[in-house]
């Protein structure tokens, strides 16, 4: 729940060399066009129809990802959507129809649409202004019905509605009594569990059926608790994640009626459990997911384990293998491969004859052999805490005296993981070593590590990043005079904090939709975050009680310390980090006569989604970093193909 609520935050060219560029060797990768890292995939997000006869997928049309559909075995495709302003953000099958979501200009007020797989009868099912929609239950057994959440009547609260896809009729199913952030149905589509918060305490509410009232079954602080996942297949208990009386979240079976843990199904000694997979058809849990230095699975089900073993024999051990979907009979599976060096390939796997058919590469223009290794690393923070992260070294050069980009993640209640990252590969291709840091406060490493980041914005969380720079220098990897910092969302905040509180550490900085003033940030969060502000105050700081702390942790009040070149990018419609966060620090720097590059996109929100805007941003960043750190660059860096 917390992760969903508070996550603040993704042609041949002539090559010109800069003064400090590392001399190119035969083993060094060529300078790859910037657009190749950030252009839309040729085909992506494949989804099987319930009957297994069709596949829907997205592909770019006029630089926007639109939905297509094809009959398996046919070469013909039907284009279902034709948006020119914004990508389709997500979709799923409902019978022979496609249901999808899309916002306007990055405002995150998602509307829900439906269209037939023949391209007919498209309809906006939630045509309401400034209203966001969530899927509560796709009601698989009922072809024309959904349960959705909307903040239509109160922008702070999501009520549950029954939606008839055929008529478009919306009927209130359950009124949010206040603070409910999660609704859960049983396997028959009955709404029976709600997770409620007053901002500090979390409560699980339960009812036997819709004719009985919800009752409180468990009350905890937000620091610990039980996160319901799904009902057990007899609809009596819950499968859930719990960190009650333990540091790392474990997968448990939970007696929801009596609010008691029944048994631990799986736990990992090093990290939290992230989630589960299950078979709706066979009514069994299949696996538990977690992430150490790389992602892992614990299998409960021999059938799914056997499928993965067969796929590894066919595809090898080089890439991660993910089952991304299946038909209702669970005899056809979509399979995707992915690694740190490739966006991967999608396949269709038939469990009956064990055949594996390649469907499409996501980015065939990128060559695996030209990409760089993302290697897990760890170091000790100044207070002795172990910090984990990932280091990517440019291909074909020694890991010595390199220009470096420190790349703190967003969130901050999130974590970096091993896998494909276009920004990291782009920067490494330009000659920069890239360090990603899971500083204290990052999720996945247990409650103690997470809580160690409370009220530590600009303090120990920032010290962990500083310690990462010092570690790279002590190892001889980083040239101390050529260290830059770049991050988005909280990573943008950490960027501003880095050049404010440790002004001698960095040579330049790039802030992408980052927080500059914790007071104004707290006042401009989306309305549906308001019920959880007390939790934010405990994790970040209370604007009244902790005013001194927040002032000290707000870079905008210390711009006189900034002395290195700064580039800021911001979406005008950002609902999470308001544009004023970037405006005010730019204005403060201008008053001091300090030049700062400032890019604003009027049709974007929390990060740039439209391809041409990404090209503008990364092209400008490429030039900025090359100028101040001496990396490689292409003459066509800012020009689309």
Say how far apart CA 361 and CA 57 lie, in whole Å: 13
CB atoms within 10 A of CB 242: 23
Cα 114 to Cα 84, 94, 158, 189: the distances in Å are 18, 9, 21, 20
Rama region for 208: left / alpha / beta (φ>0; ψ in -120 to 50; rest): alpha
- Give 550's contacts (C-beta < 8 A, 6+ positions apart): 518, 519, 540, 541, 543
Q: Alpha-carbon Rg of the chain, whole angstroms?
A: 25
The closest alpha carbon to 90, from 52, 138, 36, 145, belongs to 138
The closest alpha carbon to 491, from 565, 577, 550, 572, belongs to 577
Structure tokens at 23: 């001399």
| Dihedral sign, Cα of residue 263, residue 269, residue 274, residue 280 | negative
Torsion angles phi and psi, residue 512, rounded to 5: -115, 110
Determine whether 489 is an active site residue.
Answer: yes
Q: Where are the alpha helices (DSSP H) in 433-578?
A: 447-451, 460-474, 490-501, 518-523, 533-539, 547-552
Catalytic residue among 574, 582, 616, 628: 574
Say how far apart CA 368 and CA 24 lie, in whole Å: 19
Q: Which long-range contacts (CB under 8 A, 24 or more apart) does 585-588 make?
A: 585/496, 585/516, 585/517, 585/555, 585/556, 585/559, 588/556, 588/559
Say how far apart CA 402 and CA 393 lie, in whole Å: 9
Q: Which long-range contacts (CB under 8 A, 24 or more apart) does 123-130 make?
A: 123/168, 125/99, 125/163, 125/165, 125/168, 125/170, 126/150, 126/170, 128/152, 130/155
Say how far apart CA 242 and CA 229 lie, in whole Å: 11
DSSP label at 245?
T
Catalytic residue among 49, 197, 242, 489: 489
Tokens 């003033």 label which residue? 517
Structure tokens at 288: 């538990």
Say how far apart CA 46 and CA 497 lie, in whole Å: 40
Q: Where are the alpha helices (DSSP H) in 129-287?
A: none
Cα 184 to Cα 137, 190, 206, 221, 235: the distances in Å are 8, 8, 10, 20, 12
Catalytic residue among 242, 606, 616, 628: 606
The closest alpha carbon to 477, from 546, 406, 544, belongs to 406
CB atoms within 10 A of CB 332: 21
- Give 232's contacts (C-beta < 8 A, 6+ positions apart): 238, 239, 253
Q: Which residues are catalytic?
A: 489, 574, 606
């Amino acid at each position: 729940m917390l992760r969903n609520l508070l996550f603040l935050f993704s042609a041949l060219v002539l090559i010109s060399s800069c003064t400090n560029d590392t001399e190119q060797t035969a083993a060094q990768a060529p300078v790859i066009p910037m657009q190749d890292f950030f252009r839309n995939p040729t085909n992506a997000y494949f989804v099987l129809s319930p009957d297994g006869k069709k596949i829907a997928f997205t592909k770019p049309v006029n630089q926007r990802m639109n939905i297509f559909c094809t009959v398996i075995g046919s070469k013909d495709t039907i284009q279902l959507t034709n948006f020119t302003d914004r990508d389709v953000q997500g979709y799923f099958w409902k019978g022979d129809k496609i249901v999808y979501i899309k916002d306007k200009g990055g405002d995150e007020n998602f509307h829900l649409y439906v269209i037939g797989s023949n391209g007919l009868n498209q309809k906006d099912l939630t045509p309401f202004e400034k209203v966001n929609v969530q899927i509560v239950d796709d009601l698989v057994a009922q072809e024309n019905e959904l349960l959705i959440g909307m903040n239509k009547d109160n922008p702070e609260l999501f009520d549950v509605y029954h939606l008839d896809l055929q008529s478009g009729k919306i009927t209130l199913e359950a009124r949010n009594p206040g603070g409910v952030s999660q609704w859960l149905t049983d396997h028959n589509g009955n709404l029976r569990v709600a997770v409620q918060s007053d901002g500090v305490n979390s409560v699980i509410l339960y009812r036997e059926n819709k004719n009985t009232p919800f009752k409180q079954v468990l009350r905890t602080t937000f620091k610990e608790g039980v996160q319901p996942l799904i009902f057990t297949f007899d609809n009596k208990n819950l499968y859930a994640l719990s960190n009650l009386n333990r540091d790392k979240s474990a997968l448990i079976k939970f007696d929801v009626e009596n609010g008691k843990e029944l048994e631990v199904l799986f736990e990992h000694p090093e990290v939290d459990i992230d989630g589960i997979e299950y078979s709706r058809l066979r009514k069994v849990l299949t696996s538990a997911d977690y992430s150490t230095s790389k992602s892992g699975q614990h299998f409960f089900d021999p059938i799914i384990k056997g499928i993965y073993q067969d796929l590894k024999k066919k595809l090898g051990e080089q890439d991660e293998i993910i089952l991304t979907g299946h038909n209702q009979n669970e005899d056809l599976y979509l399979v995707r491969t992915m690694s740190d060096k490739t966006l991967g390939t999608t396949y269709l796997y038939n469990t009956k004859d064990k055949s594996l058919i390649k469907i499409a590469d996501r980015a065939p223009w990128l060559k695996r052999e030209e990409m760089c290794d993302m290697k897990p690393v760890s170091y000790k923070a100044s207070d002795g805490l172990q910090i984990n992260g990932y280091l990517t070294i440019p291909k074909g050069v020694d890991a010595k005296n390199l220009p470096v980009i420190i790349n703190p993640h967003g969130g901050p209640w999130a974590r970096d993981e091993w896998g494909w990252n276009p920004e990291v590969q782009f920067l490494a291709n330009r000659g920069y070593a890239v360090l990603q840091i899971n500083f204290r406060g990052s999720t996945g490493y247990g409650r103690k590590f997470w809580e160690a980041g409370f009220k530590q914005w600009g303090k120990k969380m920032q010290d962990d990043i500083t310690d990462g720079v010092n570690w790279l220098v002590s190892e001889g990897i980083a040239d101390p005079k050529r260290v830059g910092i770049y991050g988005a969302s909280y990573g943008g905040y950490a960027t501003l904090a880095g050049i404010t509180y440790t002004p001698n550490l960095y040579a330049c900085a790039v802030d992408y939709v980052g927080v500059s003033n914790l007071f104004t940030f707290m006042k401009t969060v989306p309305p549906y975050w308001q019920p959880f502000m007390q939790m934010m105050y405990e994790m970040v700081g209370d604007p009244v009680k902790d005013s001194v702390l927040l002032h000290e942790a707000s870079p905008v009040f210390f711009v006189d310390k900034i002395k290195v070149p700064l580039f800021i990018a911001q979406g005008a419609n950002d609902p999470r980090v308001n544009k004023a966060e970037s405006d005010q620090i730019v204005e403060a720097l201008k008053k001091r006569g300090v030049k700062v590059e400032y890019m604003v996109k009027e049709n974007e929100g929390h990060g740039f989604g439209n391809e041409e805007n990404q090209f503008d941003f990364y092209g400008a960043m490429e030039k900025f970093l090359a100028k101040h750190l001496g990396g490689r660059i292409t003459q066509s860096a800012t020009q689309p193909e």
